[in-house]
Chain A
Amino acid sequence: MKQHPLCTDPEHDTNVMDLPLPDGLKREWSELKTRRHFLGRTGKVLGWAALASLIGDKALTGVAHAENSVIPSRESLKLPHFAPKAKRAIYLFMSGGPPQMDLLDYKPNLAQLYDKDIPESVRGAQQLTGMTAGQARFPIAPSHWAFKQYGKSGAWVSDLLPFTAKMVDDLTIIKSTNTDAINHEPAIMLLNTGNMNAGKPCLGSWLSYGLGSMNDNLPTFMVLLSKTNPKENNQPVSSRLWSSGFLSSEYAGVGLRSAGDPVLYLSDPKGINREVRRKMLDAVNEINHQTYQELGDPETNSRISEYEMAYRMQASVPELTDMSKEPQSTWDLYGPDAREPGTFAYNCLLARRMAERGVRFTQIYKRGWDLHGDAVGILPVLCRETDRASYALVTDLKRRGLLDDTLVIWAGEFGRTVYSQGGLSPDNYGRDHHPRCYTTWMAGGGVRPGITFGETDEYSYNVVKDPVHVRDFNATLLHCLGIDHNKLTYKFQGLDQKLTGTTPASVVTGLLA
């Protein structure tokens, strides 16, 4: 005989999953339940109390809000919103903040302002970092390097970037990028996730969630860390930056290590062959399925799919990283650095190979751009490491016909100050963080090649024309990939969360092809 559900002891018989409740509530319940298991079984009463408070008056009326009724699956999103120009993206992340006035934002008048103080009116009431707040004066440090015009577009490029100079007609240079944060962690977080606080999904996770995978055997979102150079001032980057936040963890970035095995423990240990591995995985999956049946925690399913992906990657990653079949022309283009695993050049080549294999989003981190001192000594090293490889990547994609539907992005988290941090001498200077303006570029699917967008004042300090806030920058990236940034949302903590956050953002149409 079937008992009335309220007459049974919930401890033993009633499964919340079977009750006529909205799926959203069930999900919240399962999360609570997981937490409760963690705390111990005695917490169950608390769990019921929490469920009751979650349901509130809905329990009495039996009416559920439509927005709570389903956890959106990727398929139900029906993306892209419109026909995309780019199917995939490669993000060259210049962590630390490249100095815009030494690379692409040419300011010829600064030479005669050497060691003069930057006018109060330009600096305004701006917040300073702890690094320069104590400085008595803010002397202007003109760029140590000369600039020349290149290409049909006539873009000015520093002598530090001889290779970038060769491809300016393929680039969309944005001189008016600006951000809100003045320190590395919040600024990288803001650029990557639309929020300075950790915990939100990053661009790659949103793409992964929204667009899904093209290749079943490789992750949708890959992160490549480049080897650090001890001469450079390397700010830490961590997996928070490629975290999926509140989205399912299967949308998090998969990092490839810069040395040794690209993925740890991917190769089978001695004495274990692929068949044994398969059997082991099947057994683990069986146990995980049982756990899921018992607890209903969606993260269990994510774990199962991650194990499966890892198994498939055992075959696909060695093929991906096997460069032996690359023709000589590849090495001629990328340069000798590309032979050494973990370098930025190697990662660029790997990114091209992943683009060919349908990886949706690859983010390459290059650290070391935090040039607080000895810019003249370190900047040439940084440029040698990145200039040729960036050029090689764009050129290689172009000649292979991949640039039409691949978007390449080159950006740091902020720019650097025109005034010197620490002592200024004719031979050397340092530069502090500068969020008000900095230069980035894009190339390929969806953006307009051969243009320079936005302008800064004569000190490269404030944007004077066509500002591109990082929110607008991200909205534009999503647009190139066929996504309306206002429509790709996920309900969490009572908000329709999105990559561009709650402050209105807009697609910068001037950048679009």
Chain B
Amino acid sequence: MTFDFSKIFPKSRLAKLVWVLTLLVSAALLLLSTVFKLDGKVHADWQQFLGRFHPLVVHLPIGLILLVPLLEIAGRFRQALREAAAFVLSLSVAACLAAVILGYLLAYGSGESGVRVTRHMWGGITLTLAVLLCALVRPFWASGTPRRVLRDAYPCLLTVSSLLLLWTAHQGGSLTHGDSYLTEYLPASLKHWPGIGLAQATYPPASDSFYAKHIHPVLDANCVSCHGGAKVKGGLRLDSYSFLMRGGHEGAVVIPSEPERSLLIQRIMLPADHKKFMPAEGKPPLKPEEILLIKTWIAQGASPTVTSLAGITVREEEKPLPLVGDYSGLMAEIEQIAKAEGVTIVPVSRNPADGLVLNTVNAPTNFGDAQLARFQQFAPFIVEVELGRTSVTDACFDTLAKFSHLRALHLEDTAVTGVGLQKLTQLSQLTYLNLSGTKVGEAAVASLGSLKQLRHLYLYNTPAHPESAAPAGPQSVERSKARQAS
């Protein structure tokens, strides 16, 4: 296929001028970032002043560009709309240019840099060029030129522009609202889909250091949206320990052992209406306890590895308890069996997902293994079983091993001797086990060694030597010291 260039290049002077202007504008846009480099430094105030109109103006080209294909399609049925499309398209070009210029003033003026800023910038520039081209090739399409290449260029370019628009707009949205804004409230079931959960994977590797557990999360929640990989204001990144220590354009922000001289502390402790107060732009200030943590950490050397600080005890956030499934349909049956056996099964709280408690305090004295086995069918919904002072024996462990959500088990003052106790090691959520007043011996207790979650094991008044049991996982297991020979 050959091109007849005389047909592409316009003949009238006005048209030639348009082409020349287009080329000049394109060149200017493409060279913009080379001439005025996004160096992360703050520039003139007027640039920021105008730049801050970018988020306002930017919605204009978005609306206009999206309107063009709609008008073109509707124009098949009403000619007037097609004429309007040409006008809207020219407006789009102007709006795009305005948005790009303001956007660049914003980034350049306020010293923003980073991957996402750059992406958004190139997206905007490319989009502007694409819309410009659209406007240039549209006449060929509208006049129905016989050359297919020229005729089809417009619909193709328009499609590309629309897609590019979506991508660029998303990049811009992520800049202002943060990466996870759109997916934050995504239904949990959809979060497992590949690609969606990836944002969380970049979180720094789990570590026991004080920095990883207490400092990084504060910075991550409050600072990284402007001082991270996506956006680097003032040349400062706070998304890793090495970046934090490297500082920004104004030098180091953390001076180990000298919190008062550390710029980080100075900025977050300024009065909230101070120009240099951080977090800037009306974002919520750090909480006093968060500031205290950072201050103490810096005062004690700002080490990346130290795991605890003198004078600071931070309470561990409790992991939310695993929820049980929906048992509402079974409740009538559960209550019927409970009534027949003289026990009560009550919800832990008004939230059904907290599970059920099996309470045998009202049960007849003969409540034993067979009666317990009747509740096996509801095992996944029962989180606590109280069998203290009932007639259960070692045979109960077979049943209890099926209670997959069991967190607390009371077997005090029963006839169990510990044979089969190791079957409970299947209960990965068991945190509390009371064997006081039973005949359970050391060997049986030792077999519980692999129960990682077990934190409270009570062996008061048993033959088991309190100190004999293998430590269950990293947690220290409380064991009753007092013991009585029976």
A binds B: yes
B348 is an interface residue with CB less than 8 A from chain A: yes
Tell whether, in the assembled complex, residue A215 and residue B481 are in contact, meaning their CB atoms are under 8 Å apart: no
A41 is an interface residue with CB less than 8 A from chain B: no
Residues of B within 8 A of A79 (CB): 349-350
Tell whether, in the assembled complex, residue A84 and residue B349 are in contact, meaning their CB atoms are under 8 Å apart: yes
B436 is an interface residue with CB less than 8 A from chain A: yes
A404 is an interface residue with CB less than 8 A from chain B: yes
Residues of A within 8 A of B432 (CB): 401, 404
Tell whether, in the assembled complex, residue B361 and residue A215 are in contact, meaning their CB atoms are under 8 Å apart: yes
Say whether chain B's binding surface is mostly helix, strand, loop, or mixed. loop
Tell whether, in the assembled complex, residue B350 and residue A81 are in contact, meaning their CB atoms are under 8 Å apart: yes
B482 is an interface residue with CB less than 8 A from chain A: yes
Known: A358-B361, A399-B482. Is A78-B456 also a contact (CB below 8 A)?
no
Known: A83-B321, A83-B354, A357-B361. Is A401-B349 also a contact (CB below 8 A)?
no
A390 is an interface residue with CB less than 8 A from chain B: no
Tell whether, in the assembled complex, residue B361 and residue A400 are in contact, meaning their CB atoms are under 8 Å apart: no
B451 to chain A, nearest CB (A): 16
A450 to chain B, nearest CB (A): 10
Interface membership of chain B positions 451-486, coded 1 if the CB is closer than 8 angstroms to chain A and 0 otherwise: 000001010110000000000000000001110101
Interface membership of chain A positions 181-216, coded 1 if the CB is closer than 8 angstroms to chain B and 0 otherwise: 000000000000000000000000000000000111
A246 to chain B, nearest CB (A): 24
Tell whether, in the assembled complex, residue B458 and residue A401 are in contact, meaning their CB atoms are under 8 Å apart: yes
A145 is an interface residue with CB less than 8 A from chain B: no
Tell whether, in the assembled complex, residue A327 and residue B461 are in contact, meaning their CB atoms are under 8 Å apart: yes
Tell whether, in the assembled complex, residue B348 and residue A83 are in contact, meaning their CB atoms are under 8 Å apart: yes
Give residues of chain A (238-292) contacting chain B, Cβ–Cβ below 8 Å: none
Residues of B within 8 A of A358 (CB): 359, 361
A211 to chain B, nearest CB (A): 10
B328 is an interface residue with CB less than 8 A from chain A: no
Residues of B within 8 A of A327 (CB): 461, 484, 486
Residues of A within 8 A of B460 (CB): 399-401
Give residues of chain B (95-109) contacting chain A, Cβ–Cβ below 8 Å: none
B362 is an interface residue with CB less than 8 A from chain A: yes
A83 to B355, CA, bound (A): 9
A217 to B344, CA, bound (A): 13
Give residues of chain B (349-397) contacting chain A, Cβ–Cβ below 8 Å: 349-351, 354, 359, 361-362, 388
Known: A78-B350, A80-B350, A404-B432. Is A399-B458 also a contact (CB below 8 A)?
yes
Residues of A within 8 A of B456 (CB): 401, 404
B412 is an interface residue with CB less than 8 A from chain A: yes
A257 to B354, CA, bound (A): 39
Known: A78-B350, A401-B434. Is A328-B362 also a contact (CB below 8 A)?
no
Residues of B within 8 A of A329 (CB): 461, 482, 484
Tell whether, in the assembled complex, residue B412 and residue A217 are in contact, meaning their CB atoms are under 8 Å apart: no
Tell whether, in the assembled complex, residue A399 and residue B350 are in contact, meaning their CB atoms are under 8 Å apart: no
Residues of A within 8 A of B354 (CB): 82-83
Candidate in B315, B359, B458, B486 with the most chain A CB atoms within 10 angstroms: B458
A457 is an interface residue with CB less than 8 A from chain B: no
A448 to B314, CA, bound (A): 12
A278 to B382, CA, bound (A): 37
Residues of B within 8 A of A398 (CB): 480
Candidate in A80, A328, A357 with the most chain B CB atoms within 10 angstroms: A80
A223 to B458, CA, bound (A): 29
B163 to chain A, nearest CB (A): 48
A356 is an interface residue with CB less than 8 A from chain B: yes
A412 is an interface residue with CB less than 8 A from chain B: no
A482 is an interface residue with CB less than 8 A from chain B: yes
Tell whether, in the assembled complex, residue B349 and residue A81 are in contact, meaning their CB atoms are under 8 Å apart: yes
A398 to chain B, nearest CB (A): 8
- Interface bracket on B: 20 to 34
Interface membership of chain B positions 427-447, coded 1 if the CB is closer than 8 angstroms to chain A and 0 otherwise: 000001010100000000000
Residues of B within 8 A of A217 (CB): 362
B5 to chain A, nearest CB (A): 77
Interface membership of chain A positions 106-119, coded 1 if the CB is closer than 8 angstroms to chain B and 0 otherwise: 00000000000000
A80 to chain B, nearest CB (A): 5
A80 to B351, CA, bound (A): 9
A87 to chain B, nearest CB (A): 9
Q: What number of A residues sit within 8 Å (CB to CB) of B?
A: 26
Residues of A within 8 A of B348 (CB): 80, 83-84
Residues of B within 8 A of A214 (CB): 344, 359, 361
A334 to B359, CA, bound (A): 29
Residues of A within 8 A of B410 (CB): 401
Residues of A within 8 A of B359 (CB): 214, 358
A482 to B350, CA, bound (A): 10
A401 to B480, CA, bound (A): 8
B267 to chain A, nearest CB (A): 28
Residues of B within 8 A of A333 (CB): 482
Tell whether, in the assembled complex, residue B458 and residue A83 are in contact, meaning their CB atoms are under 8 Å apart: no
Tell whether, in the assembled complex, residue A215 and residue B350 are in contact, meaning their CB atoms are under 8 Å apart: no
A81 to B347, CA, bound (A): 11
B393 to chain A, nearest CB (A): 20
Interface membership of chain B positions 394-408, coded 1 if the CB is closer than 8 angstroms to chain A and 0 otherwise: 000000000000000
Tell whether, in the assembled complex, residue A399 and residue B480 are in contact, meaning their CB atoms are under 8 Å apart: yes
Interface membership of chain B positions 83-124, coded 1 if the CB is closer than 8 angstroms to chain A and 0 otherwise: 000000000000000000000000000000000000000000
Residues of B within 8 A of A400 (CB): 412, 434, 436, 458, 460, 480
Residues of B within 8 A of A78 (CB): 350
A476 to chain B, nearest CB (A): 16
A328 to B484, CA, bound (A): 9
A358 to B484, CA, bound (A): 24
Give residues of chain A (343-401) contacting chain B, Cβ–Cβ below 8 Å: 356-358, 395, 398-401
Interface membership of chain A positions 436-464, coded 1 if the CB is closer than 8 angstroms to chain B and 0 otherwise: 00000000000010000000000000000
Candidate in A82, A84, A217, A401 with the most chain B CB atoms within 10 angstroms: A401
Candidate in A83, A358, A398 with the most chain B CB atoms within 10 angstroms: A83
A214 to B344, CA, bound (A): 8
Residues of B within 8 A of A81 (CB): 349-350
Known: A83-B321, A83-B351, A401-B412. Is A215-B458 also a contact (CB below 8 A)?
no
Residues of A within 8 A of B434 (CB): 400-401
A216 to B363, CA, bound (A): 10
Residues of B within 8 A of A356 (CB): 388
Closest to A359 in B: B361
A356 to B361, CA, bound (A): 9
Closest to A512 in B: B315
A78 to B359, CA, bound (A): 18
A63 to chain B, nearest CB (A): 30
A405 to chain B, nearest CB (A): 8
A214 to B321, CA, bound (A): 24
Residues of A within 8 A of B344 (CB): 214
A263 to chain B, nearest CB (A): 20
Closest to A77 in B: B350
Candidate in A81, A217, A328, A399 with the most chain B CB atoms within 10 angstroms: A399
Interface membership of chain B positions 309-327, coded 1 if the CB is closer than 8 angstroms to chain A and 0 otherwise: 0000001000001000000
A201 to B44, CA, bound (A): 68
A40 to chain B, nearest CB (A): 45
Residues of A within 8 A of B351 (CB): 82-83
Give residues of chain A (70-127) contacting chain B, Cβ–Cβ below 8 Å: 78-84
B323 to chain A, nearest CB (A): 11
Closest to B355 in A: A83
Closest to A217 in B: B362
A-B contact pairs, 20 of them (CB 8 A): A80-B349, A81-B349, A82-B349, A82-B350, A82-B351, A83-B348, A84-B348, A215-B362, A327-B484, A327-B486, A395-B482, A399-B482, A400-B434, A401-B410, A401-B432, A401-B436, A401-B460, A404-B432, A404-B456, A448-B315
Given contacts A83-B354, A329-B461, A358-B361, 16 further A-B contacts (CB under 8 A): A78-B350, A79-B349, A80-B348, A80-B350, A82-B351, A83-B348, A83-B351, A214-B344, A214-B359, A215-B362, A216-B362, A329-B484, A398-B480, A400-B460, A401-B410, A448-B315
Top-10 shortest CB links A-B = A401-B458, A401-B434, A399-B480, A78-B350, A358-B361, A399-B460, A329-B484, A80-B349, A83-B349, A216-B362
